[in-house]
Amino acid sequence: MSANNLEDGRKRVVIESVQPEVDAGRFAVKRTIGEQVVVEADAFTDGHDAVVCMLRHRKLGTTDWHNTAMAALGNDRWRASFNVTEQGRYEYTVVAWIDHFLSWQRELVRRVQVEDIQIALLTGAELIEHAAQRASGEDAKQLKTWAAQLRDNTDLATRRTLGLDETVLRVMVRHTDLSLATQYPRLLHVVVDRERARFSAWYELFPRSCGSDGQRHGTFDDCIARLPYIAEMGFDVLYLPPIHPIGRIKRKGPNNTLVAGENDPGSPWAIGAAEGGHKSILPALGSQEDFKRLVSAAQQHGMELAMDIAFQCAPDHPYVAEHPEWFRSRPDGSVQYAENPPKKYEDIYPFNFDSAHWQELWQELKSIFDFWVSQGVKVFRVDNPHTKPFGLWEWIISSVKQDHPDVLFLAEAFTRPRVTHRLAKVGFTQSYNYFPWRNTKPQLTEYLIELTKGEGREYFRPNLWPNTPDILTEYLQFGGRPAFMTRLVLAATMGASYGIYGPSFELADNAPREHGSEEYLHSEKYQLRAWNLNQDDSLKDFIARINRIRRENPALQQDWNLQFHTINNHELISYSKTSPDLSDVILVVVNLDPHHNQSGWIELDLPALGIDPQRPYQVHDMLSDARYLWHGPRNFVELNPAESPAHIFRLRRQVRTEHDFDYYF
Amino acid sequence: MSANNLEDGRKRVVIESVQPEVDAGRFAVKRTIGEQVVVEADAFTDGHDAVVCMLRHRKLGTTDWHNTAMAALGNDRWRASFNVTEQGRYEYTVVAWIDHFLSWQRELVRRVQVEDIQIALLTGAELIEHAAQRASGEDAKQLKTWAAQLRDNTDLATRRTLGLDETVLRVMVRHTDLSLATQYPRLLHVVVDRERARFSAWYELFPRSCGSDGQRHGTFDDCIARLPYIAEMGFDVLYLPPIHPIGRIKRKGPNNTLVAGENDPGSPWAIGAAEGGHKSILPALGSQEDFKRLVSAAQQHGMELAMDIAFQCAPDHPYVAEHPEWFRSRPDGSVQYAENPPKKYEDIYPFNFDSAHWQELWQELKSIFDFWVSQGVKVFRVDNPHTKPFGLWEWIISSVKQDHPDVLFLAEAFTRPRVTHRLAKVGFTQSYNYFPWRNTKPQLTEYLIELTKGEGREYFRPNLWPNTPDILTEYLQFGGRPAFMTRLVLAATMGASYGIYGPSFELADNAPREHGSEEYLHSEKYQLRAWNLNQDDSLKDFIARINRIRRENPALQQDWNLQFHTINNHELISYSKTSPDLSDVILVVVNLDPHHNQSGWIELDLPALGIDPQRPYQVHDMLSDARYLWHGPRNFVELNPAESPAHIFRLRRQVRTEHDFDYYF
């Protein structure tokens, strides 16, 4: 092997271990508008030359790089950051090189002998002359002047001072020879979403139950009438289960029974009937026009509508007749229904993604998103994405976002960790996760640390749901109303994004279909339900207060800032969230025991919270409005679940004014 | 973006996180002949189909892959391994696919209803018929028969049993359709060296001091006469500092003084004079023929010779006159000497790797290795590789090893961690490291865990040296003879590869040039030294015993198996090494205090060491030959540094024979 075939061997700087980087750059990291991307890299060279390291970034599709000097952290590690200000994709990488002038300055400052300094000044003059050749205009002139001054016969100390001058360095840096710079071999990507991708409060509602009495099928107009109620609770995403025509063949009856009565509405996830499929609306709900009115009425209430996308068909979905090639056929000629032997789901036909006609199928599925985007929908909750190819999602999401970067996708994949993470990597904006089943203090602590500090946080944005129409956890079944409050506080304060399925949730509906099941009794998935929204013990005011606290406190609008605190009671969990400038410091204490009073001593790292340990500080419980004056890191808390299972404190530092008048801010 | 331009969307399996993998496959991992490469990967698909995962490997340059089925570890993780049996490079990757027949079997076994089983058997028959089309000969015939049997009218239970048959699955696997298999996007490399890359005992010697009296300049023949002495100590690599002509201009005198006397030999690292450069031999040492005799005499003593390669020139090196373009010139026209302002090293000219003529320079430097390989040298210790470009080493090492895979390279880079690691990544077989300065129990524990369990172990093979001609540590200076014994035991039993600089080491030479310096007084780097090899307190027998223990115990011939044990005294450190089959279990206890008796209780994880906690076991100190009978995990040890600062126990399990006669093996 001859050295003649090699890349230029004078590119002597090495760049390694750039972070963040997902799967060697195969996938993008995620941010929202206004956030920072903090980039670190190892960069070094052989020998003792000075290395300069630079972060480059640009919006994808633009040509010019923005360059940011990286700061040396020691041990050959460098760091810089950039802000993302627009939706869409950015790319970034790292460039580093040897700066011979900087190397020269660093040596000059250590030279002692007159003879050495004299020779060094001539070397410096040469370096500046070379830079002058690369420069033009004023800079070229200035550099030539400096070079001449370094060479002239004036006082050595003066010339040495000029050689070490910061201004000279700054001009030299402008004309650095980058022909031998090393660029990190990969361009890494950031997908930037609007703020709602990071900070959102979801409310799931079956529109058909919005009829007043549970007998009449609710309509979009009934939904519109319900909007003030939901908006007053403070939600910003209203998510509806599928609104399409529902299959009649093998339709399920109440409580998932196999035979439906004549008036049973069926499951909205059994999509498609004579009236149409994924681009149609169930006539009982209203028309496309009614739907568009709902979309804009929600907007007027500060909410946006999220649609459910479930890629599966009822036997009478038009696709089944029109595109038999998209389904698997059984040896008896019938279409293969969904099954998990010995269980059968004969009301549902899955698509066959191994079909030779997969490309047409993918195009059609993507067109469903395109259609609803054209109807004003910008948020999609995707049903069971883990039973469709990862490649399909990567293609659909990137294609849709290319034209509509404001579209958000929530993955409903309650499955194994690697699968869940892969879906997030291929593009889902937010992800359901294991939060519903993390109930004890060690479980919550370990899991939330994984979500907020683990490597996955770069691409996996959790959305925390205490319940869904499929998930009525044991904790909620047995914990009563306090359990609902506890889980709500945890979801809404641990997670910047969370959601509830209502009115089931605020009415603390907790009867399971049978013992040991997480299914609801009389589940809305299979029948209409009447809800008494004015029930005395409704949690609606409590929810409204929590959502207001979330909106008023930027600390609660992000995930990565979560910190747990020691508290000497296994039933009490405590954590804080802070804004980067520590102007907003939130401390939460939750009683995980829905049945008993619990108390304990909490220990805080006060300096980390911006509190002077020598001075008292006020903790203001934004739930009860109570205020306490605390001193030092160790304080007592007690929580009675029958009253409120949590404190959501805002910490207020004591400030002594020049008039010796204390106040808290 | 149209789905028509995508890769086949039916390739639904995903492969991620393949381990081992260094820097996204940019660099190879390292093994020695006979070792295993254990490969893990995440592999999974959407939905519930059965995934099959396979490890592929081949010797680089061969065409056929060896395929090994990977075992599912749970949580979508898979593992398999392959053995490397030849020197050179191997490549490996992972392939995975959906096995529709296996999926079908897994469902069939769970089917209950007769009708479902009947339909399923027809589906299975279809799958087998498709496989029959891909097969030929006996297999095709057999598959067709089975398909027909699944379809016929015989007893359902019989047909179901056939469908679930292991043999059917095995034949089906042979004819799997791999057209939609996923291959991991990267081919990963393993560099396989001979055993000495992993297990070696080095002895460094200045040949010029092998003259009997310290006055006469030693020769290669004197070295040959010294070989039995070194071989008796049990070393297998004899490493010589540079043997080339030594520069006369600016030659250094004894103790690194700036002016050499007429008879001062100078530093061997100031390479090159009128007699020649890096391919020549200092006439006072002998001729090329003498050198070749030394190489083969060493071989006859079971040792191989390691040469020092130091890429730098004395001012009178022929390169300086012949290739001024390979050096930096100063503004006064002189050649730039080595410097670290305000220090100057005027006896040394570094190469200028920024030279426009870098390619010719690289070729010449590589030819130095080629030359000495042609003279029978297969081991090189490279001086300060971190002051030459990483790319140079990557190219030289891979080029040399392409033709001579048995050549080994030891990097002498005492510098920052990232730089040291990069040199190992680009190809150095072994690496000097921070061992000389890790003296306390926490330091040793933390550092050896990093070396033996950290990610770097895949490419960074440490060679542990208690001393070198440049490094006389404070611990050795103040600890006396027991300190030398302690450091020897640590180096030789913690590391599969280690080395000493002798006879300085075995004679416990510990006088520094001045207080606070790690340089030796009257360093052999600048003068001849006379050594009394028969000195009463020489450690030569102790060293010989330790090297014999290393040779006799496979557990001590590898690094990754190091485990530390708890011992309740900060001055005592304890660790074990075991062979994979637990037939060889070595337990080491070392007193780190060279001045005082230390004792403590050691706690062992007996099952991990293959010892039945219910039975006594023998510990045989191979240093003192004492044997103790221990019971249970907790035992007392006491070490007097004046006698022996260490135990190197071999653990012998008690075996009860059928005649109720106990013995230990």
CB–CB of B419 and A391 under 8 A? no
pLDDT of residue B665: 47
SS (H, E, C) A68-79: EECEEEECCEEE
Of A340, A359, A362, Cβ closest to residue B48:
A340
Taking residues B621-632, report their average pLDDT.
95
Taking residues B480-508, report their average pLDDT.
98
pLDDT of residue B301: 98
Residue B501: closest CA among B548, B472, B467: B467
Which residues of chain A are within 8 Å of residue B415 when distances are taken between CB atoms?
none
Of A111, A119, A417, Cβ closest to residue B332:
A119
pLDDT of residue B1: 63
Count of C-beta atoms within a 10 Å radius of residue A546: 26
CB–CB of A10 and B354 under 8 A? yes
Q: How far apart are CA B210 and CA B220, in angstroms?
A: 9
Q: How far apart are CA B94 and CA B19, in angstroms?
A: 10
Angle at A151 between CA A150 and CA A156, to 5 degrees: 60
Number of A:B CB contacts under 8 A? 179
Q: What digits encode the pLDDT tens for the residues B109-156?
A: 999 999 999 999 999 999 999 999 999 999 999 999 999 999 998 899
Is the pLDDT reported for residue B575 higher than 80?
Answer: yes
Query: Strands, DSSP E only, in A585-643?
Result: 585-591, 598-603, 617-621, 627-630, 634-639
CA distance A203 to chain B (A): 28
What are the tokens at B502?
Answer: 């002798």
Percent of chain B's residues with pLDDT above 70: 98
Is the pLDDT reported for residue B664 higher than 80?
Answer: no
Is the pLDDT reported for residue A82 higher than 60?
Answer: yes
Q: How far is CA A78 from CA A129, A141, A331, A417, A613, in A?
A: 30, 34, 63, 32, 33
Interface predicted TM-score (ipTM):
0.95
Contact with chain A for residue B129, Cβ under 8 A: no
CA distance A330 to chain B (A): 7
CB–CB of B9 and A122 under 8 A? no
Kindly state the DSSP code that residue B455 receives in the 8-state scheme.
G
Residue A506: closest CA among A466, A473, A478, A453: A466
Residue B461: closest CA among B191, B105, B154: B191
CB–CB of B16 and A332 under 8 A? no
Of A116, A391, A416, Cβ closest to residue B75:
A416
Q: Give A43's strand partners.
A: A15
Average pLDDT over chain A, rounded to whole? 96
Burial B52-86 (b: 16+ CB within 10 A, else e): bbbbbbbbeeeeeeeebebeeeeebbbebebebee
CB–CB of B386 and A46 under 8 A? yes
Taking residues A401-424, report their average pLDDT.
98
Is the pLDDT reported for residue B559 higher than 70?
Answer: yes
Pick the catalytic residue: B42, B236, B412, B584? B412
CB contacts under 8 A, A 66-85 vs B, are 75-76
pLDDT of residue A213: 80
Contact A211, A528 (CB under 8 A): yes
Helix (H, G, I), strand (E, B) or coil at A365: helix
Q: How far apart are CA A494 and CA A444, in angstroms?
A: 10
- Please give the single-letter amino acid code of residue B210: C
What are the tokens at B73?
Answer: 């570890």
**For chain B, how big is the Rg over CA atoms in Å?**
31
Which residues of chain B are within 8 Å of residue A416 when distances are taken between CB atoms?
44, 75-76
Contact with chain B for residue A333, Cβ under 8 A: no
Q: What digits encode the pLDDT tens for the residues A549-597?
A: 999 999 999 999 999 999 999 999 999 999 999 999 999 999 999 999 9
Average pLDDT over chain B, rounded to whole? 96
Angle at A179 between CA A177 and CA A181, to 5 degrees: 90
Contact with chain B for residue A659, Cβ under 8 A: no
Which residues of chain A are within 8 Å of residue B111 when distances are taken between CB atoms?
341-342
Q: How far apart are CA B57 and CA A599, in angstroms?
A: 60
Q: Is A344 exposed, middle or buried (0-12, 13-18, 19+ CB in 10 A)?
A: middle
Q: In sequence order, what DSSP letters do the residues of B318-342 get, joined into one string? A: HHHHH-GGGS-B-TTSSBPPEEETT
Pick the catalytic residue: B383, B506, B524, B584? B383
- At A3, the pLDDT band (50, 70, 90 cuts) reads confident
CA distance B120 to chain A (A): 8
Please tell me which residue of chain B has the smallest CA distance to A121: B331
The residue among A27, A46, A73, A108 with the most chain B CBs within 10 A of its CB, best to mutate, is A46
- Lowest mean pLDDT segment, chosen from A204-213, A411-420, B424-433: A204-213
Taking residues B466-479, report their average pLDDT.
98
Contact B20, B50 (CB under 8 A): no
pLDDT of residue A653: 82
pLDDT of residue A158: 95
Q: What digits encode the pLDDT tens for the residues B143-195?
A: 999 999 999 988 999 999 999 999 999 999 999 999 999 999 999 999 999 99
Percent of chain B's residues with pLDDT above 90: 96
CB–CB of A358 and B107 under 8 A? no
Is the pLDDT reported for residue B660 higher than 90?
Answer: no
- Report the interhelical angle of B166-174 vs B137-151 (nearest 10°): 130
CA distance A386 to chain B (A): 5
CB–CB of B10 and A107 under 8 A? no
Percent of chain A's residues with pLDDT above 90: 95
Which residues of chain B are within 8 Å of residue A359 when distances are taken between CB atoms?
3-4, 6, 9
Is the pLDDT reported for residue A526 higher than 50?
Answer: yes
CB–CB of B419 and A44 under 8 A? yes
Strands B200-204 and B497-501: parallel
- Lowest mean pLDDT segment, chosen from A213-222, A455-464, B19-28, B620-629: A213-222
Among all residues of A, which ones are annotated catalytic?
383, 412
Contact B468, B505 (CB under 8 A): no
pLDDT of residue B214: 77
Which residues of chain A are within 8 Å of residue B6 when distances are taken between CB atoms?
359, 362, 391, 395
Q: How far is CA B439 from CA B414, B449, B487, in A?
A: 17, 14, 9
Is the pLDDT reported for residue B286 higher than 80?
Answer: yes
Residue B308: closest CA among B237, B398, B247: B237
Is the pLDDT reported for residue A660 higher than 70?
Answer: no
Contact with chain A for residue B215, Cβ under 8 A: no
Q: How far apart are CA A228 and CA B1, in angstroms?
A: 40
Run of H or E residues at A182: strand A182-183
Taking residues A440-448, report their average pLDDT.
98
Q: What digits encode the pLDDT tens for the residues A333-390?
A: 999 999 999 999 999 999 999 999 999 999 999 999 999 999 999 999 999 999 999 9
**Domains of chain B listed by start with CATH number:** 3-98 (2.60.40.10), 101-174 (1.20.58.80), 557-664 (2.60.40.1180)
Please tell me which residue of chain B has the smallest CA distance to A111: B342
Which residues of chain B are within 8 Å of residue A110 when distances are taken between CB atoms?
341-342
Percent of chain A's residues with pLDDT above 70: 98
pLDDT of residue B655: 61
Helix (H, G, I), strand (E, B) or coil at A142: helix
pLDDT of residue B30: 98
Please tell me which residue of chain B has the smallest CA distance to A386: B46
pLDDT of residue A339: 94
CB–CB of B353 and A10 under 8 A? yes
What are the tokens at B374?
Answer: 């042609």
What are the tokens at A227?
Answer: 């909007």
Angle at B324 between CA B318 and CA B328, to 5 degrees: 120
Is the pLDDT reported for residue A159 higher than 50?
Answer: yes
Q: What digits encode the pLDDT tens for the residues A115-140?
A: 999 999 999 999 999 999 999 999 99
Which residues of chain B are within 8 Å of residue A366 when distances are taken between CB atoms?
3
